[in-house]
Amino acid sequence: MHDLIVVGGGPAGMTAALYALRNGKSVLVIEKNGFGGQITHSPKVENFPGTYSTSGNALADSMLDQILQQGAEIELEHVIHVEPGADGQTVVTEEGNRYQAGAVVLATGVKHRMLGLPGETELVGEGVSFCAVCDGDFYKDRAVCLAGGGNSALQEAILLSETCSQVTILQDLPELTGEQRLQDIVAERRNIRVRTGVRITGLDRDDNGLTGVQIQETGSGKTELVPCDGLFEAIGLIPENQAFADLVPLNAQGYFDVGEQCETVTPGIYVAGDCRNKSVRQLTTAVADGAVAALAACRYLNK
């Protein structure tokens, strides 16, 4: 039996593990895919305090090495449920294993909704991006496209317009769906072009990465190639929290409906990172959640 089990090996989960280990607790981290989460999609990370420039993979490897050096145990399995009990929590995995701990931190993260195009996954980090704050500077004075038309997409486009030579918004609906205030700002930016009623149908590339996106007008069926060096996708995030809905309430979008203290209605269960209902989802806010959740779990265990 461990003191703490962390479900998820992204920045939030690994930070939670680190803080619990530094408090003398035994920790098991269970990750279903690969350690690092969404940050591994960023070829360069230049907005993490104290780190001038590194790759997302390198940062994830460093975080993993740090918790292993501190004594963390890890398992690559898919957690499907947590059973609270009088003697602690039982974490159940798809592989049929059951792990016990005094407390659990759910740091299940999110995944970006993607277009589902051939070759799209292979281009992540090589022309396909999801975060203007993270990757926008890599396209300074270059042309980019942006998929989406909601609030998040318009905010990304505005930010990209400050560094990119041209930003082309591609929206498959007849009109933008973001709030009018953001639409007004977009309209004022001379280097932002808006194309509504178009669907992205393909991605062009060469040996260096993305070179353009293929689009089709939803009305006429007319096709066109839009040259660009990068495609930013802002068509939504997908939390994967449904398996724990009996322990932690979810909001309408499926995020854990938990505040900044990261405490849940189920004693001994905490949440951290992008899976939580919050307004800013960045590396720094993820690691902050990890620290808060771990310290709260340690207080619970010490009682």
The reply to whether 172 belongs to the active site is no
Q: What distance in Å separates the CA atoms of residue 276 and residue 200, rounded to the nearest whole number?
A: 30
Q: Which of 3, 61, 134, 228 is catalytic?
A: 134
Q: Which two tokens stand for residue 150?
A: 């909601």
8 SS3 class: coil
Distance from C-alpha of 43 to C-alpha of 134, rounded to nearest angstrom: 9
Strands 223-227 and 79-85: unpaired
Question: Of the residues 135, 172, 229, 289, which is catalytic?
Answer: 135
Of 131, 145, 262, 298, catalytic: 131
Q: Residues with Cβ < 8 Å from 11, sequence gap 6 or more?
A: 36, 37, 39, 59, 60, 63, 273, 283, 286, 287, 290
Q: Which residue reads 């918004």 in tokens?
A: 169
Give me the amino acid identity at 280: V
Catalytic site residue 135?
yes
Write the CA distances from 275 to 149, 150, 271, integer angstroms.
23, 20, 8
CA 101 distance to own-chain centroid = 26
Catalytic residues: 131, 134-135
